[in-house]
Chains A and B, each alone.
Chain A
Amino acid sequence: MSDNLNQQPLITLKNIRKMYYTDQIETLALKDINLEINKGEFISIMGPSGCGKSTLLNMLGLLDRPSTGTIEFEGKTLDKLSDKALAPIRNEKLGFVFQTFHLIPDLRVVDNVALPLLYRPMSNKERRERALNALKIVGLDARVNHFPTQLSGGQQQRVAIARAIVGEPPVILADEPTGNLDSHMGNEIMSILFDLNENRGTTIVMVTHDREQADQTQRTVRVFDGQLVH
């Protein structure tokens, strides 16, 4: 890793605001957020429920557009890009882990994991090999032909992590990845994430309610009422 790359933030949020409009009620979910995510960091985001953590993560993950402000990814401004142009960035650069897993119930574990590779040019054989490899990393190589409903919650979240890492993205965004799990399973998930960060240099941004987890990360960003607090 060169110093030059280290100096340039991977993702930069500049003056981000996000408004939601529902039945005459306007919610200002994010106000004037400025945030830089550097390559190789493990960042946790904390804050009370409804303060805008998921909204912030969705901005970083390009799953939603800000109302005003700009997002830069690897130095490039993204807000003028069409959805079609954002798709390959999501596919190659970002891996997402959701609190509610979001696995496709009609696909076997291995096919769920291979899903991001479906949108890259490669053979089915290679997709499968990479998916099996990712499952090995999360310790689920014995469950490849199960359907998601046949797995425990912790196992399902490990499938979701395997899906997030299968394309070897430089960034993983995790929204309360252990929120639906008991502490034992939560610890397993955390150790996988730490391993990815330490041994593969994957940048990780994780929303959590758990103080202990946050303390283990390199930096904690606190959100209150849509704003960053320092």
Chain B
Amino acid sequence: MLKHILTLTWNRRWANSLVMLEVIIAFFALFVLISVGYHLWSNYQRPLGYNYDNVWEISLRIDGRWQDKDTQILPDVINALNALPNVVSTHAQSAPAFRNWSWTTRLPAKDSTERVYRNLFSDGAQETLGIKLIDGRWPLAGESEPQKAVVAINRYMRDRFFEDDVNAVNRVIVDGESEFRIVGVFEDYRQRGEFTEQVSYTIGSLDLSNPGNNVTTLFVKMAPGTPVSDEELVLNTAKSIAPHWDMGIVPWSELREQHHANVLTPIRIATVLAGFFLLMVAMGLIGVLWQDVLRRTQEIGLRRALGAPSGNVRMQIIGEMLAVTGLGVIIGGVLAAQLPMLELIDAINWQTTPMALVLSALMIFALSFFAAYYPSYIAARYTPSEALRYE
């Protein structure tokens, strides 16, 4: 029987190649969607690395350049805010979070140059935000010099830049004129929220006595349960000291939600489109297989007239379909396995590819099985004489 199936499959190769093409397309589509879906999901699963609860962001928009007088009043603003009853602490950063705002540079990593995100935190900010230090220490104010930055890096950056057995602390990354001395390693600080890729990240010290042009944002940590109405008090206090700063205040949690809404809209649209696409591909595959089996109703009748038990005929047809599907899956699998090598998108990488291949194959087989099982069931319900008359 196996030889018979193989002979028949081979002799029907042109009809089967249509089915196979459909299988390959469906397999490929599934593979990419599963990879991307899994990637987004696993990104979302990774911890944010800091705590945004009860933190309010005060964004600064200063007319013209940052001047000495701004440097002079900055500590006064921070002290005045810290003196408010519900304020736990205040710090400054050079890059805000949950906004499309980034400061990046490219540095030589293990085997290529890698984009590295940078940020400067004023003293104590890391503790306030609950960023977890896993090795070394945080940079201190005044440690950095022009072209000689002192930084802590995140775990991902350590893995991208150093071999496993190397201690990253006290290593120096040299890039032309500039140097980055690493004094600590922290878990993560996902500046742009939970849906973003893993990125290399450095945190340096923002020296409040010499901030340059770097202060864009103040963060005020409030006591738990502080009413939203305090926003005005906080803002007015800052304005009373720095009336020429254009400031806005918003709770970080709100900013995060807004940011997610922006990020999620394209993801949702893509998900719906992907769902439709998948549905179309699945319908196509089912349609082609279904048609193929129904076209063979006469053959089913004939085989039964010649003495085949109907279960046997159905098994044979399902077997043929699964064999063709298997061939398509193998070809699709070989093609899909080339994708991580091309490094087109982060979502398709060596870690997730085996899982995505196996899952896609299982789903395609389930689909094919259904698409062969049901019409063959219908065809086998006819008596042999009815099946032979079927057009």
Give the contact stretch, choosing among B59-67, B91-99, B275-283, B378-386. Answer: B378-386
**What are the residues of chain B within 8 A of A176 when measuring CB–CB?**
none
A180 to chain B, nearest CB (A): 15
Q: B243 an interface residue at 8 Å Cβ cutoff?
A: no
Asked if residues B304 and A98 are in contact (CB atoms below 8 Å), the reply is no
Interface centre among B1, B3, B302, B306 (most CB of A within 10 A): B306
Alpha-carbon distance between A64 and B305 when the two chains are bound, in angstroms: 10
Known contacts A61-B305, A119-B306, A124-B3; is A106 also within 8 Å of B12 by CB?
yes
**What are the residues of chain A within 8 A of B312 when measuring CB–CB?**
87, 119
Residues 58 to 111 of chain B near chain A (Cβ within 8 Å): none
Alpha-carbon distance between A115 and B316 when the two chains are bound, in angstroms: 13
Alpha-carbon distance between A96 and B301 when the two chains are bound, in angstroms: 12
Interface centre among B310, B311, B385, B386 (most CB of A within 10 A): B385
Alpha-carbon distance between A104 and B295 when the two chains are bound, in angstroms: 12
Q: A209 an interface residue at 8 Å Cβ cutoff?
A: no
Alpha-carbon distance between A88 and B309 when the two chains are bound, in angstroms: 8
A89 to chain B, nearest CB (A): 8
Asked if residues A83 and B310 are in contact (CB atoms below 8 Å), the reply is yes
Alpha-carbon distance between A116 and B306 when the two chains are bound, in angstroms: 5
Asked if residues B307 and A119 are in contact (CB atoms below 8 Å), the reply is yes
Asked if residues B388 and A87 are in contact (CB atoms below 8 Å), the reply is no
Q: How large is the interface on A (under 10, 10 to 19, 20 to 34, 35 or more residues)?
A: 20 to 34
| B-to-A contact residues, CB < 8 Å | 1, 3-4, 7-8, 11-12, 298-299, 302-312, 383-386, 388
**What are the residues of chain B within 8 A of A89 when measuring CB–CB?**
307
Q: A5 an interface residue at 8 Å Cβ cutoff?
A: no
B305 to chain A, nearest CB (A): 5
Residues 99 to 152 of chain A near chain B (Cβ within 8 Å): 102, 104, 106-108, 111, 115-116, 118-119, 124, 147
Asked if residues B11 and A90 are in contact (CB atoms below 8 Å), the reply is no
Alpha-carbon distance between A107 and B8 when the two chains are bound, in angstroms: 7
User: What are 15 A-B interface contacts by the 8 Å CB criterion?
Assistant: A64-B383, A83-B309, A83-B310, A87-B304, A87-B310, A88-B307, A90-B304, A90-B305, A102-B388, A104-B8, A106-B12, A107-B8, A108-B11, A111-B7, A118-B308
Alpha-carbon distance between A65 and B312 when the two chains are bound, in angstroms: 20
Asked if residues B386 and A87 are in contact (CB atoms below 8 Å), the reply is no
**What are the residues of chain A within 8 A of B384 when measuring CB–CB?**
63-64, 90
**What are the residues of chain B within 8 A of A96 when measuring CB–CB?**
305-306
Closest B-chain residue to A104, C-beta based?
B299
Closest A-chain residue to B382, C-beta based?
A64
Alpha-carbon distance between A3 and B312 when the two chains are bound, in angstroms: 39
| A-to-B contact residues, CB < 8 Å | 58, 61, 63-65, 83-84, 87-92, 94, 96, 98, 102, 104, 106-108, 111, 115-116, 118-119, 124, 147, 163, 167
B266 to chain A, nearest CB (A): 48
A223 to chain B, nearest CB (A): 17
A19 to chain B, nearest CB (A): 14
Alpha-carbon distance between A63 and B306 when the two chains are bound, in angstroms: 10
Alpha-carbon distance between A108 and B12 when the two chains are bound, in angstroms: 12
Closest 5 CB pairs of A and B: A91-B307, A63-B385, A87-B309, A64-B385, A106-B11
B151 to chain A, nearest CB (A): 69
Known contacts A107-B8, A118-B4; is A98 also within 8 Å of B388 by CB?
yes
**What are the residues of chain A within 8 A of B3 when measuring CB–CB?**
124
Alpha-carbon distance between A106 and B16 when the two chains are bound, in angstroms: 12
**What are the residues of chain A within 8 A of B11 when measuring CB–CB?**
106-108, 147
